[in-house]
Amino acid sequence: MKADVIIAGGGQAGATVAITLRQLGYAGSVLILDAGAEPTYERPPLSKEYMAGQRSFERCLIRPQGFWAEQRISLLHSARAVAVDAAARQITLADGRTLGFSKLVWAAGGIPRRLLCPGANLGGVFTLHDKLDADAIIARLPRVQRAVVIGGGYIGLEVAAALVKQGQQVTVLEAQDRVLARVAGEDLSRFIEAEHRAHGVDLRLGAQVAEILGTNGEATGVRLADGSTILADLVIVGIGIVPQAEPLLAAGAAGGNGVEVDEFCETNLPGIYAAGDCARHRNHYADNAWVRLESVQNATDQAITVAHAIAGQPKPYTALPWFWSNQYDLRLQSAGLSIGHDETVIRGDMTQRSFSILYLRQGQVIALDCVNCTKDFVPGKALVASGARFSPILLQDETQPLKALLPA
C-alpha cells in the first residue's frame, strides 16, 4: 500500500494537516495512521467539560465522522508507526505492515510522564491524556471521595476544578513553590492558588511525593517526603508529557526532546515533516531559541505550515504562541512567551477577578495573561506581535483600551 502523504498521528496536528491539504486543493492521496482506536478528537475538553460531564464525546470530534471519506482522506486506527525508512520512503506499523509514502508527516504528540515512586502502578492511579484515561477516571468517580492531583500545571489544575464541581474533596500536590511555574509569572500563580483554595482545594506547594500507598492493589493515599500522608481513592498524575518521536529519530532525524524542524516544519530528512507536541522549532517569540510547545495553537499552526509546504505553497511558521484554560468560572487566555521578562504590569483589579498581566522586557510587551478579560486578549496579542515598546504607565491605565496603543 502507498499514499502520496502519510500522516503518523491523527490528533490535533495530524488531522489539521489533512484538512488543510484539501482546503489548499491538494489532490494526492492522504492517509492518516493513528495508534488510538477512537476517531480523531480534541484533547482540551478532556480535563474540562468532558470530565465535568458537560460535553459529549461527539462534540469533541475535530470533524464529524463522515467528513474524512467525503474529503478522500483515509484513516487507519489502531495503527502505530514503529519504524521509518527515509531512503526507501516506507513506514512500518506495529503489526508488521509496511506502507510507502512520497511525503511523511510525523504528528505523534507525546505520552504522559509517569511517576517513578513505589505504588505508581496501583489501581486508581491515572494520567489524563486521552479519552480512555478520561473515561477510566469518570467511571471511578462514583466510588471516590478523596482525590489527589499530582502536578499543579494546567491539566492538573483543570481536573482539580472539574472534580471540585462534582463534589469531590481534592488535594493538589505541586513539587515547586508555586503552581504554573513553567508557564506563568508569579502574580498569576498566586492568584490561581488562592482561587483553588477558595474552592476548598487543599493545595500543597513544595510537596515531594515519596510513595503512593495502597491496599489490595488499589491506591489509598499518598505519602510525601516529609512523612505526611494524604488519604485518596483516586490519584491523578499530571506532570507533563514526553514527546513521541523515536522511530523518526532512529531514521536519522535530528532532535532529542522532540524532532527538530525548520521554519517550514520540515525535518533534516527531505520531504519528512513534523508538527505539534512532538516537534521542536526555533521560535521568533523566544529570541529564536529552540522550543517545543504543547498547545492547540502550535499544533494547528504548524500543521497549516506543513500543508502549505506539501501543497507547494510554502510559507514559514511565524505564529504567535497562545493558550487558554478554564478553571471554575475563570477564563484564562495567554499569548506570547513570558520567559526573560524584567517587568510586569497589571491592568484591572485582581480582587474583582477580571484583569490582565502584561510581561515586558526592556519596555517591549513579550506576553500577556488575561483572566476573565477577553477584551484585552485580541489587542494584547497584537501588542506582543508588534514588538513595539510601551510605557508601563500607559499599559496600566485601564481607561485606555489596549487597542488604542497599537502602532498605526
Ligand X SMILES: Cc1cc2nc3c(=O)[nH]c(=O)nc-3n(C[C@H](O)[C@H](O)[C@H](O)COP(=O)(O)OP(=O)(O)OC[C@H]3O[C@@H](n4cnc5c(N)ncnc54)[C@H](O)[C@@H]3O)c2cc1C
Decide if residue 9 touches ligand X (CB under 6 A).
Answer: yes
The residue with its CB nearest to ligand X is 11
CB atoms < 10 A from the CB of 181, how many?
A: 16
Residue type, 378: V
Return the number of the residue (12 or 283) whose C-beta is nearest ligand X: 12
The Cα 62–Cα 68 span in angstroms is 11
Residue of 117, 156, 157, 163 whose CA lies nearest to 140: 163
Shortest separation between residue 247's beta carbon and ligand X, angstroms: 6
What DSSP string runs through 132-189?
A: HHHHHHHHHGGG-SEEEEE--SHHHHHHHHHHHHTT-EEEEEESSSSTTTTTS-HHHH
Query: From the list 5, 31, 81, 183, which residue makes contact with ligand X (rule: CB under 6 A)?
Result: 81
Decide if residue 168 touches ligand X (CB under 6 A).
Answer: no
Residue of 320, 268, 301 whose CA lies nearest to 13: 301
CB atoms < 10 A from the CB of 71, how many?
A: 14
Query: From the list 18, 22, 39, 44, which residue makes contact with ligand X (rule: CB under 6 A)?
Result: 44
Decide if residue 11 touches ligand X (CB under 6 A).
Answer: yes
| Contacts of ligand X in 94-113 (CB under 6 A) | 107-109
Alpha carbon 357 to chain centroid, angstroms: 21
Query: From the list 119, 276, 348, 380, which residue makes contact with ligand X (rule: CB under 6 A)?
Result: 276
Q: Applying CB under 6 A, which part among 189-197, 200-208, 318-326, 388-396 lies near ligand X?
A: 318-326
Q: Is the Cβ–Cβ distance between 184 and 325 less than 8 Å? A: no
Q: Applying CB under 6 A, which part among 12-20, 165-173, 222-230, 305-313 lies near ligand X?
A: 12-20
**Number of alpha helices (DSSP H) and beta strands (DSSP E) in the chain:** 10, 25
The binding track of 340-379 with respect to ligand X, each residue x by CB under 6 A or -, is: ----------------------------------------
Return the number of the residue (360 or 367) whose C-beta is nearest ligand X: 367
Shortest separation between residue 278's beta carbon and ligand X, angstroms: 6
Q: Applying CB under 6 A, which part among 40-48, 266-274, 284-292, 305-313 lies near ligand X?
A: 40-48
Return the number of the residue (11 or 119) whose C-beta is nearest ligand X: 11
Q: Is the Cβ–Cβ distance between 8 and 306 less than 8 Å? A: no
| Contacts of ligand X in 213-252 (CB under 6 A) | 244
The CA-based angle 145-147-148, given to 5 degrees, is 155
Query: From the list 18, 19, 31, 128, which residue makes contact with ligand X (rule: CB under 6 A)?
Result: 128
The Cα 391–Cα 405 span in angstroms is 10
Q: Applying CB under 6 A, which part among 8-16, 335-343, 362-370, 374-382 lies near ligand X?
A: 8-16
Q: Element (H or E) spanning 30, and its range?
A: strand 30-33
What DSSP string runs through 9-20?
A: --SHHHHHHHHH
| Contacts of ligand X in 134-163 (CB under 6 A) | 155
Return the number of the residue (35 or 368) whose C-beta is nearest ligand X: 35
Query: From the list 5, 14, 19, 191, which residue makes contact with ligand X (rule: CB under 6 A)?
Result: 14
Residues that bind ligand X (CB under 6 A): 8-14, 33-36, 43-44, 46-47, 80-81, 107-109, 128-129, 155, 244, 276-278, 294-297, 299, 323-325
